[in-house]
Chains A and B, each alone.
Chain A
Amino acid sequence: MMKPVYISAATALSPQNSFDVDTLLPDVISSDNGKLFVKDTDYSKFINPVAIRRMSRMLKIGISTGMKAVQVSGVEKLDGIITGTGRGSMRDMELFLGDMIRLKEEALNPTYFIQSTYNSVNGWLAMQTKCTGYNQTYVHRGHSLEMSVLDAKMLLHDATEPQTYLVGCLDEMTDDYFIVKNKIGYWKKELPNSLQVLQHSNTQGSIGGEGAAFFTITNTSANSICSIEQLKMLQQPTAASVQASIDNILAAHGMKLKDIDVVLCGMSGDARFQSLYTPILESTTAHTTVAAFKHLCGEYDTSTGFAMWLATKLFQEQSTPEVLIQKKGINPAINNILIVNHYTLNSASLMLMKKTISE
């Protein structure tokens, strides 16, 4: 088994107030149109003013989230930058493809093309942080962030010196994307308020979302918030394979389910995937709090990033906001969190995180 790695800083730009505030979910933002968009911030604080004018919203979101994570961590030199995105910069891609059709493939603007590539956020982050080290972008749909974390874990496992990687994810939703995915049943036909979506888990579809989350991940526990003990990815997950994976992870760490203080579940209100979480809701004892998060960020490829960010905040604040709770547990402290998430029936992931105990 690989050694744990440690998160020393976590930032997220999400549909909630997650970026410019120190407290966790000071207010809750909801939507009635089936879409949860990122709450914008002042991007000019993090991006060169000459460069910012050419950037799409997604680039600004990704770069600002990554730069803030670096600032918060206080790290002076990154050893690498690893990012996951399921879809990249959708808006720039749509503009570029739209121009190709409209202008019959002539006189196309270069900017949309350059900035719509999946790795443009990584490139900008490398330039802004002057990081000439490892630079990788994973585009693996629902496992994009998980692959990035796994890559960082492997690199840090092999490292003999203290190292820090900036690891993150980003995905954006556009109106066109919403329309296309609606045709194949991604979203609910009758749209509830986003905060009510989990109460509609007897019907197909969820609500759309987007967001970015970045973490500085190191191989030293000093000044860290928590560790990532284990990460497991599942293809074509079933309730049985999710349950078996939970059992294996707990056994590998000498833990029982009651030792998990919070299970952060990626249930999305979609009847097709609810069964993945039924065993968790049924098997957890009175000790464990079962919490959900997709009614706050919506469904998107890299929503695990929002869950990881939430986990770091739960460790720091040592309490779970009521808006997250599906089943309240009695464990008094939050020292162990298990994230269980899915993206469509193709992919699911589980991540065991532990609060760093100060020495």
Chain B
Amino acid sequence: MEDLKLTLKQQIIESLNLQGMTPADIDDNAPLFGDGLGLDSIDSLELMVLLERNYGIKIEDAREGRKVLESVASMAAYIEQNRKI
């Protein structure tokens, strides 16, 4: 699980072009949107694409997506249970 979280953080940094950030700067449980990492709605679309491309996960339900994208920890947990690749 820890390896997955580290990989996920690296993928988020690369995908969202979070210049100057390292995986160590992202807290596992900090909110990705709003007060935490400060991501916005376009970032959420990019994260959905990240999940589909790297893990074969398609989230159709927006409410479910909101829960999954709460934090790195919630994303990693969902990936572990639902990944297809």
> With a CB–CB cut-off of 8 A, which chain A residues contact B38?
50
Q: Is B68 an interface residue (CB 8 A)?
A: no
Number of B residues near A (Cβ < 8 Å) is 12
Q: Is A111 an interface residue (CB 8 A)?
A: yes
Interface contact A107-B53, CB-CB below 8 Å: yes
| Shortest beta-carbon distance from A86 to chain B in Å | 27
- Chain B 17-35: CB-based contact to A (< 8 A → 1; otherwise 0): 1110000000000000000
The CA-CA distance from A111 to B47 in the complex, in Å, is: 11
Name which residue of chain A comes closest to B18, CB basis.
A53
Interface contact A54-B42, CB-CB below 8 Å: yes
Interface contact B49-A108, CB-CB below 8 Å: yes
Name which residue of chain B comes closest to A103, CB basis.
B53
Given contacts A50-B38, A54-B42, contact A110 B49 (CB under 8 A): yes
Name which residue of chain A comes closest to B44, CB basis.
A110
The CA-CA distance from A53 to B53 in the complex, in Å, is: 21
Interface contact A111-B46, CB-CB below 8 Å: yes
The CA-CA distance from A30 to B83 in the complex, in Å, is: 52
> With a CB–CB cut-off of 8 A, which chain B residues contact A54?
16-17, 42
> With a CB–CB cut-off of 8 A, which chain B residues contact A108?
49
Which one of B17, B42, B53 contacts A114 once the chains associate, using CB atoms below 8 Å?
A: B42
> With a CB–CB cut-off of 8 A, which chain B residues contact A106?
52
Within 8 A of B (CB), among A65-116: 103, 106-111, 114
Given contacts A50-B38, A114-B42, contact A107 B16 (CB under 8 A): no
> With a CB–CB cut-off of 8 A, which chain A residues contact B19?
53
Given contacts A107-B52, A107-B53, contact A53 B17 (CB under 8 A): yes
| Shortest beta-carbon distance from B71 to chain A in Å | 19
Which one of A53, A103, A114 contacts B16 once the chains associate, using CB atoms below 8 Å?
A: A53
Name which residue of chain B comes closest to A44, CB basis.
B19
- Chain A 38-74: CB-based contact to B (< 8 A → 1; otherwise 0): 0000000000001001100000000000000000000
> With a CB–CB cut-off of 8 A, which chain A residues contact B18?
53
> With a CB–CB cut-off of 8 A, which chain B residues contact A110?
42, 45-46, 49
| Shortest beta-carbon distance from B66 to chain A in Å | 17
Interface contact B42-A111, CB-CB below 8 Å: yes
> With a CB–CB cut-off of 8 A, which chain B residues contact A109?
46, 49
| Shortest beta-carbon distance from A337 to chain B in Å | 42
Within 8 A of A (CB), among B38-85: 38, 40, 42, 45-46, 49, 52-53
> With a CB–CB cut-off of 8 A, which chain B residues contact A107?
49, 52-53
> With a CB–CB cut-off of 8 A, which chain B residues contact A111?
42, 46
| Shortest beta-carbon distance from A32 to chain B in Å | 32
The CA-CA distance from A254 to B19 in the complex, in Å, is: 58
| Shortest beta-carbon distance from A109 to chain B in Å | 6
The CA-CA distance from A108 to B18 in the complex, in Å, is: 19
B16, B38, B45, B49, most chain A CB atoms within 10 A: B49
A103, A109, A114, most chain B CB atoms within 10 A: A109
> With a CB–CB cut-off of 8 A, which chain A residues contact B17?
53-54
5 closest A-B pairs by beta carbon, nearest first, are: A107-B52, A53-B17, A110-B45, A107-B53, A107-B49
Q: List 21 A-B contacts (CB under 8 A).
A: A50-B38, A50-B40, A53-B16, A53-B17, A53-B18, A53-B19, A54-B16, A54-B17, A54-B42, A103-B53, A106-B52, A107-B49, A107-B52, A107-B53, A108-B49, A109-B46, A110-B42, A110-B45, A110-B49, A111-B42, A114-B42
Question: CB within 8 Å of A: which residues of B?
Answer: 16-19, 38, 40, 42, 45-46, 49, 52-53
Question: CB within 8 Å of B: which residues of A?
Answer: 50, 53-54, 103, 106-111, 114
